[in-house]
Chain A
């Protein structure tokens, strides 16, 4: 499906040699695939052509979870898109929701207070931590590293609890809204955060020992499915996968949205772009995000939450028409660069929403990255390659 040429090549070769290649379908209902994608909440299907246990060709079927996201958003008043946007990913839906609000506010000329901006930055970083931990749990599951999986899943639940506390509810029901956030941070968030942070830091250290510094895990990761920088650019791969390939490109650096210009953080980059580098980058990003949340919490304690009023309320109430225009907001989501482009013709519904989902590009690059890898490298690579099915399918 993705690379007709490759499948064709494999077939011709097999015909010439009189060999029938083994074609394995790792369907979306296959237990291994489901387990790895658990937390991503979606479905992918793989058709693998095998030469012995090497992947000769790989076809990916996406779209199994397509729900007409862009069409749905274009069919509803501006603010009613928020629950749909929040379902673009697992925890990364929170970031998508912030991005949609930023674009909408820019289009409608709505000012956002600094408290809301800092709180948005905070929940984005918590969402990144949650998502990355889900990815590591999936990796550990694919490697059958059950201790690491348990640590990662437990840490993911802690991070999700912190995220829900920061948002003030389920990420699907609350979060960013035009003009600010649905609710400010709860009173005792500091204490919750301190306890959670200690636990997450411990989990990071243990995961690093079990996966990055453990001989048998290194054997499964080092040199597997490498992606060079120029290839990554050709496939428009972004986010941790691109940084693992050695490119220090992070949307939070270049054109910072939210409060990133005032925050101190480091951007980890790899050198070879293999699974080892991808995991090392993801683990370090969790550490960096913990530091970012800390800075946000410190800053928020000195700010008073501003009320969401005026034009934003009118917009939510459906009384404000958004002036004609076009904006694009690109945020560094946990998976990569998530672009939301909104077009208004001055009406009460968006004329067009274009969602540039990073997973879509990553899924497209997978067959090339995995060619020649072993079959049992497939799922660890899928876990680390930031392919989130709901985002990919939209």
Chain B
């Protein structure tokens, strides 16, 4: 796929020496000043005068040659496949360690009796979906440790929490699932990680220490679904007003189910708070 990628990359040229240098150049040629700035940093700054009309140096590759420039970021690396394979095949021994780790004071209520093999048997790794993201289902007991491993393993390098959301599976149990969308800048891979929430009232460990972007995402999940995140630095409502009552995105409160809804009467009492006993406060 990358071989046909037609795009190029331009690196912004910066005025060297700040505005003063730029000012001195004003009467002559602004472009000359801007073009004399260093591309700097780690950016690829190979020559080529494609960007002559713009304040850009061209680190450009022409059509069909983009793969070399882009491969580290958007390519699919074989090593990642191997790492993910390791996640699947090396389940037993790793799981034993992780569960021990997790059991140190952080074991969730309903999964405390789960054996390593039974929690890890649920792990599945289907092939890449249409958007290139694989999906992993975590067992409940070792989810925190596994997420930490995904973050810290240099071969995987999932340094971006691209999104976090909740799936309300009611009436199934466990009712809630936290879905983490991870991105790796080292490999360009996406991974979706599902983590069941067995506790009632729903509560899981916060991942703010691992990914900073989890801060507001977890606040939003708490706000709209009432799932609590242990260890979050400031779990407050974020989108709804502080005195709001309920968790509006739950399936059993306000809002119609699709079974009871047709085109003639599609709209339920939206905007109303769901009557929930474990409401966020």
Contacts and interface: CB of A to CB of B under 8 A. Distances in A.
Nearest to A208: B55
B211 interface: yes
B163 A223 contact: no
Interface in A62-110: 62-63, 66, 68, 70-72, 74-77, 80, 106
A264 B7 contact: yes
Contact of B15 (A222, A328, A343): A222
Question: Is the contact region of chain A dominated by helix, strand, or loop, or is it mixed?
Answer: mixed
B160 A72 contact: no
Interface residues of B, number: 85
B239 A71 contact: no
Contacts of A248: 9, 69-70, 73
Contacts of A287: 54
B133 interface: yes
Interface string A184-205: 0000000000000000000000
B20 to A, nearest CB: 8
A230 interface: yes
A235 B261 contact: no
B238 A63 contact: yes
A364 B14 contact: no
B74 A394 contact: no
Nearest to B167: A352
Contacts of A280: 12-13, 55-56
A135 interface: no
Interface string A261-273: 1111111111110
A70 B271 CA distance: 11
Contacts of A246: 41-43
A71 B167 CA distance: 14
A271 B18 contact: no
A310 interface: no
A212 B55 contact: yes
Most buried by B among A248, A287, A364: A248
A24 to B, nearest CB: 21
Interface stretch (A111-119, A121-129, A250-258): A250-258
Interface in B33-63: 33-34, 39-43, 54-56, 60, 63
A248 to B, nearest CB: 5
B191 to A, nearest CB: 13
A27 interface: no
Contacts of B54: 208, 284, 287
B203 interface: no
B11 interface: yes
A281 B7 contact: no
Contact of B26 (A74, A215, A265, A270): A215
Interface stretch (A154-162, A353-361, A370-378): A353-361
B5 A253 contact: yes
A269 B70 CA distance: 13
B270 A75 contact: yes
Contacts of B14: 222, 271-272, 276-277
B73 A249 contact: yes
Given A71-B249, A253-B7, A261-B4, A271 B12 contact: yes
A168 interface: no
Interface stretch (A1-9, A144-152, A174-182, A301-309): A1-9
Interface in B203-228: 211-213, 215-216, 220, 224
Interface stretch (B87-95, B103-111, B252-260): B252-260
B11 A271 contact: yes
A323 interface: no
Nearest to A263: B6
Given A264-B7, A361-B213, A66 B240 contact: yes
Contacts of A337: 162
A213 B34 contact: yes
Contact of B239 (A66, A213, A271): A66
A70 B167 CA distance: 13
B259 A347 contact: yes
Given A71-B255, A271-B40, 7 more contacts: A63-B241, A66-B239, A71-B254, A222-B15, A269-B9, A280-B55, A337-B162
27 contacts: A62-B238, A63-B238, A63-B239, A70-B224, A71-B270, A72-B270, A208-B55, A212-B34, A212-B55, A213-B31, A219-B19, A230-B159, A235-B213, A236-B160, A236-B163, A236-B213, A246-B42, A248-B69, A250-B7, A261-B5, A267-B9, A268-B56, A271-B11, A339-B162, A347-B257, A356-B163, A360-B220
